[in-house]
Structure 1
Amino acid sequence: MLTAAISFALTAGGVAVAGLRAYRRRFLSATRWFAVALVPAGLYLTGLFPVARTIGSEFADWATKLVFDPRVWTGIVLLGLSALLLVTTRWLGRRGAVDAAPDRPAAAAAAPERPAVAATPPKKPATGKPAAGKRDDGLGDFSDIEEILRKRGI
């Protein structure tokens, strides 16, 4: 019963503030206040206050066990050790210190390296003057694309 009284009192107070905001022609602020004012009554009418009380109680019990129960600390240590081992193996794997098959030579186990940049085709020797009908704008390699676009009217 006390929960209902507090919920509806908070809702009434919020609606009053929303009314004052609307009276001062601050309708956006009034709408926000009204929306927030409806929350306590909605929580009470849907029965979510007992759920919140249960969640709070369970969280408090867990926190108490976290501080005083050695089993919980053992679990935390095991989780930390697990995370440390995963991070360490990942770091060592990136450095290449741990091989999957130690009897193979390191060179055979490593993947062949690919060049970072694709090889460019050899350039034609410069003749000193541009070919007839072509512009010397540095886009000579794209002349066939330029011609296709011109044919399509682009």
Structure 2
Amino acid sequence: MLAETICSAVSAAGLGIAAITAYRKRFLTAARIAAYALVPVGLVMTGVVEWASGIAFKPSVWIGFGLLAVAWLLFMTTRAVERRSGSTRKERRAARAAERGAAVAPGASSPSLTPGAGRAPQAQEGPKEKPQQAAAPGDDFSDIEAILKKHGI
């Protein structure tokens, strides 16, 4: 009841300001103020104000919001811990599957200790990147000097 009265008073004051603005021949601004002034009355007539005030003053609703906040906090905390540990759910799932599949059958042979056993021989590949050459002491600024000379400096 109090909320509806306040909304009606705000709308009446807004419409009064819109009338004064229209009297000063600022019709576009007056129309905009009138539109804003009609919103509280529209909310009262549709029942939104009654619904919102019913939610705002019920302790069970606030307990529900508190529980939602705790759930969100727990979710975000677990996500942060998961990211800090460096593992994702997919990695843990793959590790569990590997542990289950790691059980060796009784008649299986032991794994070979030589690297590359059971693989086809491959040609030795050289290093993928060229080793960086040590720069001479005077070469550090040669490209800068070239740019400065190009511009006449």
Under a length normalisation based on structure 1, what TM-score does the superposition of the two structures give?
A: 0.43
Higher RCO structure (Cα 8 Å, ≥6 apart): 2
Under a length normalisation based on structure 2, what TM-score does the superposition of the two structures give?
A: 0.44
